[in-house]
Amino acid sequence: MIDLHCHILPNIDDGARSIDEALGLVALAVEQGVTRMVATPHIHLGTFDNNLQTIHSAYGVLSDALALTDLNIEVCVAAEVRITPEILQFIEQQQLPFLGRHQKKDVLLLELPSSHIPPGTDKLIQWLLAHDVLPMIAHPERNRELQAHPDRIMPFVKAGCLLQLTAASLIGDMGPSPQQLSEYLLKRKLYSIVASDCHSLNRRPPKLALAYDAIRQLVDEDYAYSMTTAMPDSISSPLFEQAR
């Protein structure tokens, strides 16, 4: 399996608090059958003011530590970018790391606020698509506006956006509302991938294996395989090839 959304870089956001915790999260992922992870620290202006320099610095620390272990895994780096008007400037200045490519476009992991869909989101997505950037919307099932009005995700799906499911949402760790919406969207096969979005060993550890089983039971095994392996591999392969 391939995990395209996780917070395993140490001391850079609300994810791993130390290199030991980072290595512990990777080890748990490996135990579940994960062979590749893309670390996606937050870029959230005013909260986590990360940039290419801070991200690659933290990635170097993790890479050096992983090299001293026997963990059989490949790790690359991208980011989870909170929606903001400044994204336009960041894209033009080539200041955002991408998850990989899909349909000849760079894939950007785009995070909505948990409360609502900001006005102008549709215009931003149109701009991104016009500039060969394909948004992957992170964990839409955790957005309260979408929980109340699930079909408000459809304009983004019809525009071509990808959707990322968080494993903890599906298995009930995030509460009933995210679980219900994730099941609703899954049954309609609107998600492209499932990822751990792991942050810590205790509060939110990686649980991709449990999510695979849940998707297999709720939909079918082919969709579970596509969401955990085939689609993440297709998207991230250019990233890992570039890193070699």
Mean pLDDT by 10 residues, the chain (244 residues): 98 96 97 97 94 96 96 97 95 96 97 97 97 98 98 97 98 97 98 97 94 98 98 96 81
CA–CA distance, 27 with 70 (Å, rounded to integer)? 10
pLDDT of residue 242: 85
What the chain holds in terms of domains, given with CATH numbers, is 2-243 (3.20.20.140)
Kind and range of the H or E run holding 125 = helix 121-130
CA–CA distance, 56 with 228 (Å, rounded to integer)? 25
CA–CA distance, 153 with 184 (Å, rounded to integer)? 12
pLDDT of residue 243: 76
CA–CA distance, 51 with 64 (Å, rounded to integer)? 20
Is residue 6 within 8 A of residue 34, CB to CB? The reply is no
pTM: 0.96
pLDDT of residue 57: 96
Q: Is 102 helix (H, G, I), strand (E, B) or coil?
A: strand
Burial of residue 37, with CB atoms counted within 10 A of its CB: 0-12 exposed, 13-18 middle, 19 or more buried: buried
